[in-house]
Structure 1
Amino acid sequence: MIQGDYFDQLMSALNQSAIVSITDTKGKIVFANENFCSLSGYSLPELLGKDHRMLSSSYHKPDFFQNMWETLKKGQVWTGEILNRRKNGEYCWVQSTISAIVNEKNEVVNYVAIRFDITQMKQTQLLLAESSRLASLGEMASGIAHEINNPLTIILGRLTIAQKKLERNDPPAIVTKELQTIERTVFRISNIINGLKKLAREGSFDPTEEFDMVQLVNESHDLYAQKLTASEVKFSFDQTEPIYVNAKPLQISQVILNLVNNSIDAIESLPERWINIEVTKQGDRCLISVIDSGTGIPAAIASKVMNPFFTTKDPGKGTGLGLSLSKKMVEDSNGRFFYDATKKNTTFTIDLELGQAKDKVA
């Protein structure tokens, strides 16, 4: 009797604090507690006999749930974060732990899912990410203004020259040459502004897509080119052959911007200042490495650099969120982000899945 009371108390505590559901082996809901009904917006009769696809937000790729079911069928416990869609259309994040219930023959008869609402936590993470992202853009602002002002000066100068040549009735070919210079310069300004507009948009909910990583690195360069020049940092990126990856381009661009910003700050007092970006294939993976002239990070610091709010920068120069959020952004693209301690110079690497167009010719 005492054991029964204890069990009832445990179940009561669980039902009060957690979101609980039980399904059959085909994933059909056979039980849902009040918290589940409250969070989803569906009544118990509406839920019974249905599967969790009725809560689908379409945020996760099909292989996300395929991997979940493969884990469960192996008899293992699955844990992960899921974005659901309530009956009223609102979205909510849950931290889920799902495990099998077996009978006396060790056969799976049901699956039980214990969930906790982490929507507020995820919203806080997004706010922190937004703060860090805007801080990075703020660091680039003066440099971007310079990058735009320089070509505008070129345009004005070339227009003046073209006007004088027209007044002198110079041959059309000579005037056309000036106009072509103006056209190229306008395209440069357009690329800078488009790059800035992309980064200014919040992209954590973007789906993964296939894109050329080499092109993305080249397009990102204009956003930090002036800061490189002002800090007298040599920059090199020699890859020209397209390499396609599956990821979220906006977030990967943000990570590269964060890494270059960090490198510029880290090597500002060194006599030799350079930054290289390398994009290489390794099996079915693409490795993007940002390498600078620093001689590495001490092991005691390297073990902490991915922790939120950890920073070695002077007060006012960093939030300590850059690397931890960069890691999260890369993981959102099903990738890996790490400090490579095996390299002679300071190296951070992004590891992404190669795209299907990996053999495509530009």
Structure 2
Amino acid sequence: MTELKQTVLDSLNLDYCKRSVAASVGFIIVFSALLWMPVVTSLSYYPFHQASAGIALVASIARLLLARKISRLEFRGLEKYSKIHNFVVVISTTCLGIICTLGFFDPLNSDAKIFVTSFLISAIAAGSTSSLSLNPKVQVYFLIVVGVIPGIALAFSQHLGDLPYNIWTLFVFTFVLYVYGNSKQFYRNMVYRYQTEEELKVEKYNLTLAIRKIESTQEELLDQKARAEYSAKLASLGEMAGGIAHEINTPLNVILLSAEQQMDLLQDGLTNKGQMKESIEKVQSTTNRIATIVRGLRTFARDGAQDPIESISVHSVIDNTLALCYEKFKLNDIEVRRHQNQENVMIQCRPVQVSQVILNLLNNAFEAIRDLPQKWIRIDVLEHLTDVEIRITDSGDGIPENLREDIFRPFFTTKGIGKGTGLGLSISRGLIESHQGQLFIDGTSTNTSFVIRLPR
């Protein structure tokens, strides 16, 4: 058998000590009975018999107390009391061997007492299998002292040559050998059990470490994903910055011009209520436009992941998103076409996240067609039985078939170095899928066409 780990040996030894509690109770009963009913008849053997039984009884009581203490303290108790426990087991075993040898060797013993002695050896040897077997050295010592030596005494006693006694002697030796073989098998089974338990503990520990490592990696990946999404959002904000500045500057110029006109009229004393009303209305409308742009910008800058899903008009979401980039399209002569069958088409979504996805698709379309001779973007809203389709198509020639899935992978980009993070479409698809929706390319379109499907 291969060398056992110390932990397995300790487990076997602890189990041996725990089983010793019941075994020691049995020994206490046996030795108490032997004090009252000795297995010897000769007066010359009697003192040795009684002394051995008395010492064995005291040793068995000590064994019981030590075994109980070890059972309670477990491995700490094993370290402190194991050697003492083994010592008292050896003492009681030696005394039992002396008693059995005296019982077989006593010339005055009757057949009944010899039978009782043989039965005592057989019963105790059989009982030792479940306790002493876990300590092979003690078990071998026990079988030699309690089985082999008394058996030799029986073989070479005054009954030498007596066939019945020879048969009985053979039975004693055979039974001792049987117990020894059975004990070895029991020991192997227990070793296998504790080795398996030890291996399972190691595997469980390694599995726990692996799970913790995976959890740590997941947390790190989520953190990196959050940072990447934030970087992508900052990049998008950077791309929009010029357009948004123009979006706000244009209405501000209108307000400034209206204010200067009214100031000139007031200085010249030429107040005209009609003109003043018209200027105020113009200021109000342009102020509302600025407010819409700022509101859209704030919406885009938010995370929105914790927002509840709500029912909202899809056209409202599109309008708020277009407010952030309409002027940029106008400056670059990009025509924005809208097609809608009904005004109040409702979808179930987190408006902030859907707005972010639409804006990302519009920005991608802008980058793709800004230098083309024909520049247009069309937004279609189509109603189906269970979902609503938002289709954003531009005048580009479409995405090559071999890139249609690649463009949704993180960090994949067709833009030049330093012009894109490669995260926009990956994040966008994730946001739409979190709504139980879909984001995909329409491969049947002759132009570049992205489709968002959201539940109604």
TM interval, short-chain normalised = 0.5 to 0.7
Are the counterparts in 1 of residues 397 and 446 from structure 2 also a CA contact under 8 Å?
A: yes
Which structure features the higher share of strand residues?
Answer: 1
The Cα offsets for residues 48-94 of structure 1, whole Å up to 9 and x where unpaired, read as: xxxxxxxxxxxxxxxxxxxxxxxxxxxxxxxxxxxxxxxxxxxxxxx
1:184 aligns with 2:285: yes
CA distance in structure 2 between the aligned counterparts of 1:143 and 1:266, rounded to whole angstroms = 16
Query: Secondary structure in 2 aligned to 1:237?
Result: strand
1:206 aligns with 2:399: no
**Partner residue of 1:274 out of 359, 372, 376:** 376
Are the counterparts in 2 of residues 130 and 202 from structure 1 also a CA contact under 8 Å?
A: no
CA distance in structure 1 between the aligned counterparts of 2:292 and 2:405, rounded to whole angstroms = 38
The amino acid that maps onto 2:359 is L
The amino acid that maps onto 1:316 is G
CA distance in structure 2 between the aligned counterparts of 1:153 and 1:217, rounded to whole angstroms = 26
**Partner residue of 1:244 out of 331, 343, 346:** 346
Q: Tell which deviates more after alignment, 223-232 or 212-221.
A: 223-232
Are the counterparts in 2 of residues 275 and 292 from structure 1 also a CA contact under 8 Å?
A: yes
Are the counterparts in 2 of residues 212 and 243 from structure 1 also a CA contact under 8 Å?
A: yes
**Partner residue of 2:448 out of 329, 340, 346:** 346
1:333 aligns with 2:435: yes
- Fraction of identical pairs, as percent: 35
**Partner residue of 1:324 out of 426, 437, 446:** 426
**Partner residue of 1:13 out of 184, 206, 231:** 206
The Cα offsets for residues 109-168 of structure 1, whole Å up to 9 and x where unpaired, read as: xxxxxx887333222211111110111111111111111111111111112223444554
Q: Tell which deviates more after alignment, 129-138 or 336-345.
A: 336-345
The Cα offsets for residues 172-222 of structure 1, whole Å up to 9 and x where unpaired, read as: 233212211111111111111111122122222323222111011011112
Query: Secondary structure in 1 aligned to 2:383?
Result: strand
CA distance in structure 1 between the aligned counterparts of 2:449 and 2:455, rounded to whole angstroms = 20
Query: Secondary structure in 1 aligned to 2:354?
Result: helix
**Partner residue of 1:300 out of 402, 419, 423:** 402
1:234 aligns with 2:427: no
Instruction: Specify every segment of 5 or more residues in structure 2 that has no aligned partner in the other structure, as ranges.
Output: 1-191
Are the counterparts in 2 of residues 143 and 227 from structure 1 also a CA contact under 8 Å?
A: yes
Are the counterparts in 1 of residues 246 and 328 from structure 2 also a CA contact under 8 Å?
A: no
Query: Secondary structure in 2 aligned to 1:286?
Result: strand
Aligned Cα root-mean-square deviation (Å): 2.4
Return the offset for 1:226. Answer: 2.6
Superposed, 1:127-276 pairs within 5 Å as 127-166=227-266, 168-239=269-340, 241-276=343-378
Runs of at least 4 residues off by over 6 Å: none
In 2 relative to 1, CA 230–177 (structure 1 residues): closer, same or farther, beyond 3 Å?
closer
The amino acid that maps onto 2:439 is F
**Partner residue of 2:413 out of 274, 294, 311:** 311
User: Residue in 2 aligned with 1:74?
Assistant: none
Return the offset for 1:224. Answer: 1.0
Are the counterparts in 1 of residues 339 and 381 from structure 2 also a CA contact under 8 Å?
A: no
CA distance in structure 1 between the aligned counterparts of 2:221 and 2:281, rounded to whole angstroms = 52
User: Residue in 1 aligned with 2:132?
Assistant: none
Instruction: Specify every segment of 5 or more residues in structure 1 that has no aligned partner in the other structure, as ranges.
Output: 20-34, 36-94, 96-114, 355-362
CA distance in structure 1 between the aligned counterparts of 2:417 and 2:259, rounded to whole angstroms = 46
Are the counterparts in 2 of residues 231 and 264 from structure 1 also a CA contact under 8 Å?
A: no
Return the offset for 1:268. Answer: 2.5
Query: Secondary structure in 2 aligned to 1:283?
Result: coil
CA distance in structure 1 between the aligned counterparts of 2:419 and 2:217, rounded to whole angstroms = 35
The Cα offsets for residues 228-270 of structure 1, whole Å up to 9 and x where unpaired, read as: 1233211112336121111111111111111111111112332
Q: Tell which deviates more after alignment, 330-339 or 7-16.
A: 7-16
CA distance in structure 2 between the aligned counterparts of 1:298 and 1:250, rounded to whole angstroms = 30
Are the counterparts in 2 of residues 234 and 274 from structure 1 also a CA contact under 8 Å?
A: yes
Query: Secondary structure in 1 aligned to 2:451?
Result: strand
The amino acid that maps onto 1:326 is S
CA distance in structure 2 between the aligned counterparts of 1:284 and 1:206, rounded to whole angstroms = 23
The amino acid that maps onto 2:426 is S
CA distance in structure 2 between the aligned counterparts of 1:278 and 1:286, rounded to whole angstroms = 10
Are the counterparts in 2 of residues 162 and 179 from structure 1 also a CA contact under 8 Å?
A: no
Q: Tell which deviates more after alignment, 181-190 or 198-207.
A: 198-207
Counting matched residue pairs gives 261
Return the offset for 1:7. Answer: 5.3
The amino acid that maps onto 2:221 is M
CA distance in structure 2 between the aligned counterparts of 1:164 and 1:152, rounded to whole angstroms = 18
User: Residue in 2 aligned with 1:26?
Assistant: none
The amino acid that maps onto 2:328 is K
Query: Secondary structure in 1 aligned to 2:406?
Result: coil
